[in-house]
Amino acid sequence: MLLSCPIQPEFTGRGMAVVAFNIVGHGGGPAGMMVVQRKDGSSLQFPFGGRGEDRNGDGVIGPYEGMNAEGVWRLLSGRDANRQAVAELVQLVRVIERGLDVDGDGAPDLDPARIHFIGHSNGSNYGTMLAAVEPAIRAVALAAPGGSISGSRMSLHYRADYRQALGMRQPSLLNIAGGTDFDENIPLRDQPVAVNDVPGAMKLQEYFERAEWASQIGVSPAYAPYLLMTPLSCPADGSVRGGPRARASSCSGRGHGTPTLLQFVKGDEYVANPSTSALIRAGDLVDVTTYLRWDLLAVKIGTPHNFILNMPAARRQVAEFFASDGQTIVDPDGSEPVWETPIQLPLPESTNY
């Protein structure tokens, strides 16, 4: 299994080997270390260098420093880092297919016929891209996935980054609060028509429209249709691409794509709900989507966005999904309303903050 969120016993306890990794601009600097806590209370530490860079020269490598485009290319944000991540993961798949000998006994230790992927947050974005283009991925789980890069303008967490980027434009595009914030005056889906009576809003709308188009080759909604609706391993002529790695024996019907599980949470402050809803619509993923009603939780741990890190029920759902090779999606709380499996329509089109 390929993993882009912390290793958890829900997976390893089922006999699943786990591969964790850092993509461009993540994991700190090259001197990073990984600490593994053992069951007996001891720990094992080994080098696990990150792939971030101190781009601003302040002596600190930030969480995403080195991932996003800068200067005149800033509009592209993390588009190309996501594409690079997919290329590297495809290479990792090839290594597993050739035979990966972890313990050095001369025999392959990982099953190339059971490669699954789970991603959290941005890991779900490039995970969508990977599952769309790599037929060896047997099943994919997407936790708290987003949509387009410009869709993150609605995020409470990333809004400050947009303020900085817009303020660096010449002239600045910050149009409210004395030039310290912005109002793009873009209505959310299904809302009444908005009147453009906000000075400077049209320039902002042009900016976000350009960001939308410039980022398309590196964001998940552009690849979502190829998960279940029109898998790339099934060409229009009915033949099957991918040789022995191709899953489908024919190309008719929705069942020949990559089995997919999507989890997201109401009121995600990092990935705004309308952004995830756009991804679900793009891939026709309603029936494979679980919606965590954060507002109904009796006990809340951490932030909504990190639900899969803090809630074993979310990880158990993914583990069961992978154990069934993508055939079974269980409801984490049965008939209770906290985990909607599948999500009840209509899709959320407001941020729910």
Write out the DSSP string of 111-132: -TT-EEEEEETHHHHHHHHHHH
Q: Among candidates 258, 246, 226, 2, which has minimal Cα distance to 117?
A: 2
Q: What is the mean pLDDT of the chain?
A: 88
* Structure confidence at residue 7 (pLDDT): 57
- pLDDT, tens digit (0-9, with 9 covering 90-100), for 73-99: 888 888 999 999 999 999 999 999 999
Q: Among candidates 72, 74, 86, which has minimal Cα distance to 122?
A: 86
Are the C-beta atoms of 54 and 65 separated by less than 8 Å?
yes
Which are the contacts of 69, defined by CB distance < 8 A and separation ≥ 6? Answer: 75, 76, 77, 78, 79, 80
317: left (phi over 0), alpha (psi -120 to 50) or beta: alpha
- pLDDT, tens digit (0-9, with 9 covering 90-100), for 185-207: 999 998 888 889 999 999 999 99
- pLDDT, tens digit (0-9, with 9 covering 90-100), for 322-347: 999 999 999 999 999 999 999 999 99
* Percent of the chain residues past pLDDT 70, beyond the cut: 91
* Structure confidence at residue 251 (pLDDT): 53
How far apart CA 268 and CA 316 sit, in angstroms, is 21
Give Cα 275 to chain centroid, integer Å.
12
How far apart CA 135 and CA 128 sit, in angstroms, is 12
CA dist list (Å): 147 to 27, 109, 151, 268, 308: 23, 36, 6, 13, 19
Are the C-beta atoms of 149 and 77 separated by less than 8 Å?
yes
* Structure confidence at residue 254 (pLDDT): 53
pTM: 0.89
Q: What 3 state SS string does 283-352 have?
A: HCCHHHEEEECHHHCCCCCCCHHHHHHHCHHHHHHHHHHHHCCCCCCCCCCCCCCCEECCCCCCCCCCCC
User: What tokens were used for 210?
Assistant: 């350009």
User: What tokens were used for 125?
Assistant: 């974005």
User: What tokens were used for 185?
Assistant: 């005056």
Can you list the domains of the chain with their CATH numbers? 2-24+67-149+216-340 (3.40.50), 153-214 (no CATH)
- pLDDT, tens digit (0-9, with 9 covering 90-100), for 291-326: 999 999 999 999 999 999 999 999 999 999 999 999
Give the residue-averaged pLDDT of 45-53. Answer: 87
